[in-house]
Amino acid sequence: MRKLVLLALMAIVSLQLFAQTTADTWYFIEEDWMEERFSGGKYYLGKDTTLNGIIYRSLWREGGFCGNAFIGGLRQSADGMQVYWCRKKQYSENPDNFEYMLYDFSAEIGDTIRNAYFNLWDMSIYTDHVGEPEWPFWVVTDKKTIDGRIHLTVARFSDEEAYRNIPNYSTTWIQGIGTAFVLWPYYYSYCGTTTLRAACVMQGDEILYQYDLSYLGITTDCSEWHWKYDALPDI
């Protein structure tokens, strides 16, 4: 009995620690690669909301080229190892909101993950880009723990014989943080011709993680950002 009580207390403490180190705000830089311009914004968690009968933390977008919007909700499993996003339905003909698994930190190197999110069009099953093979599942290519957080690197693989051993769309999921594309894999976009890149991840007033965007010519101070060409005088 004492052992069971101890295990239960350890589980509670573990969940509390996970909650304390899980982000609730993600500042991002959005690039419109058609017009070569940048914009800043953030995603953040609001109050609880119920979607399809399940309770989530509401997920909101503010700023960027798409403007402000409620885009659904986030929830995690009891042990914090799986994270899910329920995307708010966008069209009246869709009868329900759709839930995707964003991450599965219980997976190990070499594991296949077929039901994790890839992009808005794959419905967690597959995607078929024009002129490319289908890449229907993730494979874990690396797993490590850094500063107490699991960093899980996954790549997209194809069932087609010619591409079976070729990794594509490599993405690193960071426990309690998200990805280099805020919460989503690879070049996620909600506007069609834009790309999101995470700049700063926070929990309350605490900065949990910062991404280096200097390769874009952008410097950030969490919510503040500066593009190198902004400082050049007009000619």
Which carries the bigger pLDDT value, residue 64 or residue 143?
Answer: 143
Q: Is the pLDDT of residue 181 over 60?
A: yes
pLDDT tens-digit series, residues 66-79: 889 898 999 999 88
Mean pLDDT of the chain, nearest integer: 80
Q: Rounded distance, CA 94 to CA 92, Å?
A: 5
Q: Rounded distance, CA 42 to CA 26, Å?
A: 5
* Cα Rg of the chain, angstroms: 19
pLDDT (0 to 100) of residue 127: 46
The amino acid present at 176, given as its one-letter code, is G
Q: Rounded distance, CA 219 to CA 213, Å?
A: 6
Decide if 230 contacts 206 (C-beta within 8 A): no
pLDDT (0 to 100) of residue 150: 96
Q: Rounded distance, CA 140 to CA 150, Å?
A: 13
- DSSP reduced 3-state for 10: helix
pLDDT tens-digit series, residues 84-116: 999 887 655 555 678 889 999 999 999 999 888
